[in-house]
Amino acid sequence: METLCNSLYNATSEQERSQAHTILIPLTQDASQLPRLQNLIGTSNQPHALVFAATAALKIITQFWAQIGDTQKEELRSFLLNFLAQKGPDVLRSAPQALTQVIRLVCRIVKLAWLEGPQHQTITEHVGQFLQASTVHWVIGLEIYCELTTDMQPQLGPSMSRFRRTALSFRDTALPSIFTVALSTLHKMHARQLQIPEQTQERRLLRQVLSLCCSCLSFDFMGTIPDETSDDQQTVMVPHGWSMLRDDSIPTLFLSLYQRTCQDKHYDCSVICLQCLVLLSSLRRSFFHKEEDRAKLLSSLIMGCTQILSNKVGLDDGSNYHELCRLLGKINTAHQLTELCAADAFQQWIDQVYQFTIESLQSWQHMPNSKHYLLQFWSQMVNPLLFANAKDKAPKALEGYIQQITCAYIQSRLLMAEAFSSDSSVLWEDPLTDEVMRSEQLEVLASLGRCKPQETAQVLMKFFEQVTTQGQAGQLSQVVFEKKVTWLVYMIAAFIAGTANMKTPVASGGNSDRIDQPAAPAVPPHVITGELSSRVFQLINLTDSQSSAPEDLELAYLYFLEQFRKVYFGMHAKQIFQAEVTERLCTVLGLKDDDAVLGLLINKIGRNFQQRVHLEQVIKKSLQLFYELAAGINIVHTTGGGPGERAGPIYGSPLLIVSGRLLLKNETVQSILQRHNHTQFTFLQVPSYGKYRTMYYHTLGKLLFMEVKDNKEPFEEFMQPLSDVVASMWAPPQLPLAPTQLRAPQCKMPLIGLCRDLRGLCLACMNADPYNLLFSWLVEKPKQPQMSRLGLFAAAIDVWWDDPDVVIPLLKFMSEFVHNKANRIAFEPTSPSGILLFKQVANVLCTYGQRMVTRDWSSVGPGVSSGQLYRIRFKGIGIALEMFSHALQGNYTNFGVFEVYQDTSLHDAFAIALQLGISLSAEDLSAYLKTLKPYYLFLEFATRNHMPKMLELCEVVQSTSANVPSKEQGGATLVPVLPANGLCRVLASIEEGLCSFEAGVAMQCCATLDNIVTYLYTTLQKHHQNNRTRQKQRGQMPSPVPTPNHTSATGDPGRTALELFQLNLPPPIPAEETEEEVQRVLRFLYPPEGGLADPNPPPPGVRTVPLLLQRLMSLLFDLVFSGEFTSTWSMSRPLLGLILLQPQKYATLKEGLVHTHTMLSGPGGSGAGARGASGGAGGGAGGGEGMVDGQDGEGQTKRSKLEGYFSDLLSGTEANLSTKTKDHFTRNLYHFAQMIRTSLV
């Protein structure tokens, strides 16, 4: 074993490592190998063997916890603690990484067993023995505490609810004493009261105790599992009982230790000191009983930071530098500006922070990612300074500091641009190429620019003029010029966005009573932004005259235009006074009116469509900007009041302005609408830009439908280019092109483009008028739908079904076209359009689905990647199921018509859709989320109103043929009948979906299961009521209505509902007298034996519908007990139906759950009647006085409680599935779940 482990971690050849891997890895997947791994830990001194054994045991313990006996768990824990006590010091010296793995294994055992009884919560007593031994044992004990605290943190994933309860219990019982030990040890080390002979041991002990303090303070006290990416906005929610943290000596202790460790160059310890100070600065406000205590803590932190900054203590270390920046940001975030100003040392502190920030910005290449905290520090001070009361209390120099830091930041970006342009060896990533990093920095600048905006604007103007002048004079290289001007455009845009909502100052003697206005600047904000904007627009005109431009600069232009749009044409425009702004802006830019200003944006977008085709991101951003302009709605204020209104701009009448209507007045927009597919828009011809065509026509559709409404003439003119495309492939009244002609290569790209364009137009149809226009264009011959334009798509998918480049856009268009969002599909009552539309969808689905179902997917070679396979198979199936789901829920088709007139469209479409879904394995569904969601969406809508059709298609086949022909309609097609276990496969997929991490999928599965069991139970109820009626007619005694708690006449409790029906009925009624629907339900619930073998059988153990329903009921109760499914309402709906449908199975399941959880919660842990090594009096299983069936008095009490909870679950519940009964059961289940989870903690 040692040789193999050494080969696994330290092989000399790949063959040697592969051989060791083949032998060892199976040991990590077999719970029976745990004793062997335990023996390896106890006998081996080889580090690699210890690491493997501990890691493998950890994996087994985590994965197979329920399969391991309590005695074995307790013995393993005791063995590991003894190992750490006896061999731990030697292993710590020789192989500390191996010791860490053993400690991790101990902590995992403690964590998993924590809720199984108080005897498993004695870890602090065991570790206390380590803390009373040698220094090395002390280090080991602290590492156990540190690892345990970390492992106890609740995490997302399976058993999340149970681990959250574990963490909260650990927080209340063990964590306070652990933190007390850590603080006590830290005080002793600071006072040098511990006699530690070796300096290395002292350093190791100090690092361990500091890490433990940090782990305790960063514990998730509320069990909320916060997002770690935004930890700097988190508040430390320590319990009120941790009173030692209210003492201001605690931060002083960490600050003193920081300075000492920095002097000793022990930076691994000093950085943890700063991390603890960051956490202390984040203590929740309500933790302090008195504001004086919080003020003392703040004062200690400010004084400590001031000393560190003034003496540059430890700042030559990068980690210390970063944590200090975090600490400064945390102090500012956790306190208001008035609280900071009230601190005695605030002036010295802010002076030092200002100097530190300026020096940091000047040396931008040093720790650039840490500068974000410093910039956030200053930007968060800006908003309070805009209020009079905070501004009066702040130092006079604060505004000047912020403005100078803003200028230093601007200059640092220009220095960075020059460095990245001239030096390719720069290690840091350029923010210009990282959108997330760039956006964060620009947001900070937008906030900083609000302080003294006029001075900041002058600085931006000065740098802009300087850079453009140097560039034109050739004093800068082209690359440096482009980088610098790109940064300047971005910063000007951010500045405009930040200062846009600053109010225009009211003249002296005005009627404003606002107190949040800043002092009146010499120039109003809109004048400043107008001046800056004019410079950018001039630069845009200059670069657009060139044939090419750098992508970064073009993206900066679009960012500027987006901010400009938000300010003057978007939602932010309601905060400025439109008339004043437009007038001044037009004056500065030399334009006539606001239409001319809007024309600047449109002209730039149009030029990008023509000239920047090779820059994909530029095309994408241009289309997004075009769409926002078309869709924007904003409220603006006029400057003058109407009759009876008070004078002054603040009291002007608000007006609703749709920027899309402004666009329609623009000549460029009108030109685009008239020539939308012109060859000058070359991006439309790029195959890889297909998705951008949809976005383009979505925007054009919005503008078009604003203008045309129900006027067909302009719509027909707009659609003429698309009509020509259709006519080239589809030419009624002549016969359509032959399949071989439609498959011609020259038809492929026009067909793809047509589908994408029509989908974009369909996305723009938000109500009935535009949708009816598009529908009438596609179905121009409603009496000959197959010869209309819409018929092209069924013919096209028939010949292109194997090409995903065509299939995916086509199916996406059809899915959007039949989607009745916002009730836009509203046909006249006398119109057959709804039926016609569904038949076309069914035609497309059957044509495509038949080919996909009958294709031999085993022939797809192993060389096909998962991404290619998804595109070839799963993506199309997902879209097809989504399309059919939209058609089913559209509420524009009377589905009863199909059966009345013997039209097989609905039957065939359902059969194909079910086969497509069933053809997907559980592994496929979990691997491809975009296919998984449409599949479960289809099941929900299919079972909601079409359960008879579902059962008809899933019925057990009694013939010897696996496939039967469908009913003929214009030409016979073979539609495969589903395998005999079709409904079983559907139920099995629901079982998988209930365990999905996608909450929406799990709730859809609950709804689908509710639809199924409701139909089955109500059908049986109907059958019972009919039999009662027949009995009365024959003069017989009617049988009682069965309930879950009903006892039959023979005294046999807990029979199924069907057995109760049959028990009290007269001889069976002949089958011909029973409805076919009821007979089908009976055959599914009680299938005849000896039927036809299914050619595609389900997995072993999943054979019948009753068994699967039983498994689903068990799974739902497991979810209720674990708390991993948060929607009690969703679970309660199917659960009640399952209980009523299978009362006997429910009774058995209830007894099993009560027994299992009684034994789990008893002193013996998780095994029935088992006792751990530290079990209570009474001895082993079944022994001891007062034990009944292996349970002591506590177990009997627990059992009585659980039985009472189950009794209350059905209290007041009637034996029906009416909405009233379901609502009552939902309330019962909610209380049941609360009581169960409380009793299991």
> What whole-number distance in Å separates Cα of residue 474 and Cα of residue 943?
72
Task: Give buried/exposed letters for 749-784 (b at 16+ CB in 10 A, else e).
Answer: eebbbbbbbbbbbbbbbeebebbbbbbebbbbeeee
| Residue in this structure with the two tokens 């809109």, named with its chain if needed | 526
Domain match, 116 and 18 both: no
Most confident of 368-377, 1049-1058, 1175-1184: 368-377
Place 1040 in a pLDDT band, splitting at 50, 70 and 90: low
The pLDDT value recorded for residue 577 is 46
Q: Give the pLDDT band (50/70/90) at residue 363.
A: confident
Q: Which domain holds residue 42?
A: 1-68
Residue 231 lies in a domain: no
pLDDT at 772: 93
pLDDT tens profile 14-62: 888 899 999 999 898 888 899 999 999 999 989 999 999 999 999 999 9
Element (H, E) at 203: helix 199-217
The H or E element spanning position 975 is: strand 974-976
Specify whether 335 is located in the same domain as 212: no
Work out the end-to-end distance of the chain between its first and last CA atoms, rounded to an integer number of angstroms: 41
Least confident piece of the model among 369-378, 600-609, 1077-1086, 1175-1184: 1175-1184
Query: Strand, helix or coil at 870?
Result: helix
User: Where among 68, 89, 112 does a domain terminate?
Assistant: 68
733 in the same domain as 693: yes
pLDDT, position 1043: 47
Average pLDDT over residues 952-981: 45
Q: What is the model's pLDDT at position 580? A: 59
> Which whole number is the average pLDDT over 677-703?
90
When mean pLDDT is compared across 892-901, 1032-1041, 1167-1176, 1202-1211, the lowest value belongs to: 1167-1176
pLDDT in the model for residue 230: 57
Rounded average pLDDT over 422-431: 74
Same-domain pairing of 218 and 274: no
Q: Is residue 104 part of a domain?
A: yes
Residue 956 lies in a domain: yes
> Could you tell me the two tokens for 1130?
């969703």
Tell me which of 395, 429, 450 is where a domain ends.
395
Confidence band of 848 (pLDDT split at 50, 70, 90): very high
Least confident of 512-516, 579-583, 847-851: 512-516
- H/E stretch holding 657 reads strand 654-658
pLDDT at 150: 92
Q: Are 1200 and 1135 in the same domain?
A: yes
Q: 645 in a domain, yes or no?
A: no
* Predicted pLDDT of residue 809: 96
Task: Say if residue 828 is in the same domain as residue 972.
Answer: yes
Q: Average pLDDT of 420-431?
A: 76
Same domain, 20 and 88: no
Q: 802 lies in a domain?
A: yes
Higher pLDDT, 1162 or 146: 146
Asked if residue 285 and residue 204 are part of one domain, the reply reads no
pLDDT for 623 equals 95
Q: Quick one: DSSP state of residue 505?
A: P
Any domain includes 590? no
**pLDDT value of position 1046:** 42
Query: 430: which DSSP letter?
Result: P
pLDDT band at 1074 (very low <50, low <70, confident <90, very high): low
Considering the domain architecture, whether residues 1062 and 942 belong to the same structural domain is answered as no
Task: Tell me the average pLDDT across 1071-1093.
Answer: 65
CA 482 centroid distance within chain: 38
Residue 693 scores a pLDDT above 80: yes
169-205 residue pLDDT tens: 899 899 999 999 999 999 988 888 877 777 788 888 8
Task: List, for residues 781-816, the tens digit of each pLDDT value.
Answer: 888 888 889 999 999 999 999 999 999 999 999 999
Query: Contact, 900 vs 907, CB < 8 A?
Result: no
**Predicted confidence band of residue 1093 (pLDDT cuts 50, 70, 90):** very low
- Does a structural domain hold residue 617? no
583 falls in which pLDDT band (50, 70, 90)? Answer: low
Instruction: Say if residue 30 is in the same domain as residue 83.
Output: no
Count of CB atoms within 10 A of residue 1132's CB?
A: 25
pLDDT at residue 1016 greater than cutoff 50: yes
Three-class secondary structure assignment of 1228-1239:
HHHHHHHHHHHH
pLDDT tens-digit readout, 476-497: 899 999 999 999 999 999 999 8
Question: Are 83 and 59 found together in one domain?
Answer: no
- The pLDDT value recorded for residue 969 is 38
Asked if the model's pLDDT at residue 162 lies above 70, the reply is: yes
Cα angle 526-530-531, degrees, rounded to a multiple of 5: 125
Task: Assess if residue 430 is contained within a domain.
Answer: no
Angle at 457 between CA 451 and CA 461, to 5 degrees: 160
Q: Which two tokens stand for residue 690?
A: 């297909």
What average pLDDT is seen over the chain? 82
Distance CA 586, CA 529 (A): 12
Boundary residue ending a domain (371, 395, 419): 395
Burial of 855 (0-12, 13-18, 19+ CB in 10 A): middle
Confidence of residue 1082 (pLDDT cuts 50, 70, 90): confident
808, 716: one domain: yes
**pLDDT above 80: residue 534:** yes
1153-1169 per-position pLDDT tens digit: 888 777 654 444 433 33
pLDDT value of residue 1165:
41
> How many domains would you assign to the chain?
5
Position 648 pLDDT exceeds 80: no
Contact 1141, 1057 (CB under 8 A): yes
